[in-house]
Structure 1
């Protein structure tokens, strides 16, 4: 296929050639078939399409170089809670359980909004020039990550409380996000961590090779990952697995609803078989083989059985963060210092003094 630059140039050319065709939602690269593919919401027999709507008639690529894949209509996977107008009670669905400590995979809700998604992994702020951050945030601060459409939703509100579970206790405040617009490569936002936060992911302990989930990071999904199994734990479907089908995905995602669609083109993401449903947005995605963090789930199509996640390198680049993988179980996220080397000096000194006191008791 040549260099990565050559592939990206061909992919962009292919996108320009086929965008605007009926049902075409985007383009991608199939690492198993070694070809470029047009992504359509519904695949139709060529006999049912006008000549000028055929992908083959619009591209300069040979028949062996391209194909067409049905992905359904991709939608952002938050979940809207039904609230009784009379009593104000939640009618359907019920909110999920309370988790203390809060780990990745738990239901989280932005204050005053009837939506829920999933809180993801813990990271450290590394570059405040990336993304948008509230006053008072410093490089080295520890945050929990989720999606823009989970934490920000209807508009950025600095320090908006985030609850776990829905209408539950406050577990943090919204402090940062990556602007989401056509051409974005990540749907991401961040909240502060509090005394309620912990490490790890609900229901995920040890990967196939024996490594603990989240102790390493694969920042780029490449050809070698085609067909690989990924797993996530989310608010709605708990722990699920899927297969990586397509990479270098540039695709329209609906951030509105069926009546009022809001299509945003997200680029350089990864398409899988079914991975989640409404409410699972924000789930951390891991490679099942070695437990490496590799993505942030944000959309899918239940009808077509597809899912989409942003690559970790894009989440980190657009938000200015870095995943923490070297945590110590006995040290809470809020206790981690800004040095990037684990607990702050004050916390570590307290732990050392306490340990000495107990040993000499």
Structure 2
């Protein structure tokens, strides 16, 4: 079965104030990290259960992968092509900051297998961008999308955030309207998460910022769904919308149980029975690969943990949970457990069960985590 490959590029020129993903600004260490990633790519083929594993998707995330240059991509793609079967490869994504996507950089990217760009716009309000310490302007973001399309990239995704400090529903709606004038085929949109350790979280704890109310967040979310659907973007996961045929194949693999290998400091991997976490430290990551003893944590998944994964990921999607598949994978007792614990939310209309499929009703999308918690095995 084809798998996914994720490469975590842990470098940023500056840290966004909402971010708690592992990243550093020590760009001088880029070469040794790429060298270590090559070693990991070659050494970890067996994690996917084949001599030369077949890849369906490749995703460069971060951090800021658009800080890599041609020589870095050449090194990594040469290693991938030598070690993995790419005959079934369908999607190769690069996450990028708008201000990195100059016409020259885009022309360079076209020399490699990239066929999808995910552009971190976040908001098209300059004051909002400054508040969260993004290094681009609204004008740069719009130009980056236009330049990407002109360079020949037809599969373009942008990220948008709501619930930003001081952001009103009107301001978010204005960003959404402006974004829909751009030639994009996919939009990921999330409420701001106040991550412990981020600059925004520290300011929140100091009383300098205030979280958006649930009422504001809910209004933004349901307006987002309505506006995007009116423009031909279908919701296929809680926070992801695409025009038909432009759903993210790589991200979908996280929700349908497909195996994926994560490469780089802070990257995660999953193969159905094992979840693995690379250490979030360049020093320990590089030294571990050099010594042949990679620094990582392992989590072996028993049947209950795999059932919980199946529930939590499946319920996020419009497809929902296929109950016959659940029974096949985990037995009739888990089927009974799931449907028994779904009774309350079926009665109140938050869940819908039809044709052996259990899914969220639209009115319950904003409380999906609460509903999911009723179905997981504890």
Could you state the TM-score of these two structures normalised by the residue count of structure 1?
Answer: 0.26
Bigger fraction of residues in helix: 2
The higher relative CO (CA closer than 8 Å, separation ≥ 6) is in: 1
Could you state the TM-score of these two structures normalised by the residue count of structure 2?
Answer: 0.26
